[in-house]
Structure 1
Amino acid sequence: MVGMTTTTAPPTADVVSFERVTKSFGDVRAVDGLTLTLRPGETVALLGPNGAGKSSTLDLLLGLSRPDSGTVRVLGAEPREAITAGRVGAMLQSGGLMGEVTVHELVTLACDLHPRPYRVNDVLAHADITKIADRKVDKLSGGQEQRVRFALATAGAHDLIVLDEPTTGMDVTARQAFWATMREQADQGRAVLFATHYLEEADAIADRVLVLHRGRLLADGTAAEIKARAGARKVAFDLERIDAALTERLRTLPCLTTLDITGHTVRIQSTDADATVHALYGLGFYPRNLEVAGLGLEQAFVAITEAEESRTA
């Protein structure tokens, strides 16, 4: 962070390493042979539908649980060892806040306990909570609580910052300021791993995107690579008249994966947009306001996970 320094250089080796990691809860395999690495200076988004294994993966990384098999290394050590050394900062969705103290007192405690602390006033300022520093923690709004958790996660110099749904409850301005600070952390050589349901954040912020599905790593790449892997493109256009007969004809278009009709607007996903549009004219349609574009990350994510569901059904 600006105005915050550390005497320890960021690591040059892998920050996180999972090697064929499994974790089960009863008959449920939450993490299934997971292998991945995180490197210094990366901002990495962890995505997956409910039940994909995101929380279990974060628990293993943070030493909150142990793998049934395989190895998890954080900064070359056991996760709990790296945590104890103060090399990992974590911002979880809930918990971790004492209610009968002020924000200033809680942040001060976090700084006092950290082996490489930042100045309290700097931490408050970067989390945008200076104005509520004298307020009791149990009197905060949901968004304010998230900013306090952010302050606790960045009370000292870390080599890895782990964030679980970090901007939930924050307004747009707070979210923008939050990610600007996280980018500063990555630019200083620290790895940032975040799980989120805001896929537009992953698209805009992440250097890499990891997609989990049933405990397995389904995709690993940049947002652009993930979108390209989905294969499909969006086609949208207007028709003057749409009835049941026309709808059935639209369903015969080649390479069609989805069809949505709202009023006079038709939205299609196609694995070959050129072939679909060519056939559209060949069937005698005269589309207006025709648009062809790549899928957004959210649509690509849905397409990839649905394809995997169909393959394993």
Structure 2
Amino acid sequence: MPETPALDVRGLTVRYGDVTAVHDLTLAVPRGETVALLGANGAGKSSVVNAALGLFRPAAGTVRLLGREPTAALQAGGVGAMLQHGGLPSEARVGEVLALVRRRYADPWPLADLAATAGIGGVLGRSVDALSGGQRQRVLLALALAGAPPLLLLDEPTSAMDVEGRQAFWATMRDLAGRGHTVVFATHHLDEADAVADRVVVVDGGRVVADGTAAAIKSRIGGRTVRFRCPGPRDGLSGLPGVTGAGGDGDWVELATSDAEATLRALLAGHDALPDLEVRGASLEQAFLHLTSTADGALR
């Protein structure tokens, strides 16, 4: 008999007044997977997470967490959540808040390991009002993990973190996945989805427009990207054989091409040197832009 999915969403429709934020969305996440819900702001990612947590009643469809309705799964301690705008009680110390939440569970995550896993060992005695944005996010993560839940639902969890904080956070997520936790996170950071997720679900206009590994989604975009340094003139690059688009930043030039070999031949014929030359497949960003710019929103 197949194992019950960690998250099972069927025909979910979410409306805010006359606005449909999520339309007939179906998604099943097996236990142990790390899944990114990727989409622009307003695509419907947060609505999916909020509906999964039972924060409102959807217009249609069903959601099951670990085989239970959201409220029952949360009450049983099977789900940990980080919301985009989560709050902490003021005039309290981090350790006090953590102790209060841990007392809710019959078998909470051991404090020392929890603090080390969330990276908050150095701020347990600090007032929550004195935390930086990144530290607050890590404390919220610790609270989500306090009951050692098998399923984590995270909504834009690194929104207040700097680059170093984001890297440390996702190192923690990879460790949790290695321990068998299921992690579902909503983000608009393509690099996070590409680097961390076993599976990427692209949401646009409240619909799933792609679902697969990052590599599989990138493979949907034909062609290659030729990248090199070119501090001098760039006239004529967009007219080279095979080139379908030209861009770049600073000294870097990036050429999208449908025929990398023809493009390279033309470049080498016209340039004595092409410093730091790279030829790459499509990036997740290119795939994302392609998927979300198609007018009909259908699966590609």
- TM-score by length of structure 2 reads 0.88
What's the secondary structure of 2:74's corresponding residue? helix
1:85 CA drift (Å): 1.0
1:303 CA drift (Å): 2.5
Find out whether 1:100 has 2:81 as its counterpart: no
Find out whether 1:127 has 2:118 as its counterpart: yes
| Aligned mate of 1:268, from 255, 259, 275 | 255
1:1-313 alignment to 2 at 5 Å? Answer: 12-237=3-228, 238=230, 241-243=233-235, 246=236, 250-251=238-239, 253-254=241-242, 256=244, 258-260=245-247, 266-274=253-261, 276-277=263-264, 280=266, 285-286=270-271, 288-289=273-274, 290-306=277-293, 308-309=294-295
Q: Distance in 2 between matches of 1:109 and 1:96?
A: 15
Amino acid at match of 2:114: V
Out of 284-293 and 26-35, give the one that drifted further.
284-293
Question: Gaps (5+ residues) in structure 1?
Answer: 1-10
Alpha-carbon spacing, 1:265–1:298, altered in 2? closer, same or farther (3 Å): closer
Aligned sequence identity (%):
49
Could you list the per-position Cα deviations for residues 246-276 of structure 1 after superposition, in whole angstroms to 9, with x for gaps in the alignment?
36xx3474461x2226677542223443454
Q: Pairwise CA RMSD of aligned residues? A: 2.6
Q: Distance in 1 between matches of 2:89 and 2:287?
A: 40
1:166 CA drift (Å): 1.7
Alpha-carbon spacing, 1:62–1:272, altered in 2? closer, same or farther (3 Å): farther
Q: Distance in 2 between matches of 1:109 and 1:119?
A: 14
Alpha-carbon spacing, 1:28–1:274, altered in 2? closer, same or farther (3 Å): farther
Q: Distance in 2 between matches of 1:301 and 1:287?
A: 35
Question: Gaps (5+ residues) in structure 2?
Answer: none
Q: Distance in 2 between matches of 1:184 and 1:45?
A: 16
Q: Distance in 2 between matches of 1:127 and 1:261?
A: 38
- TM-score by length of structure 1 reads 0.84
Aligned residues: 294
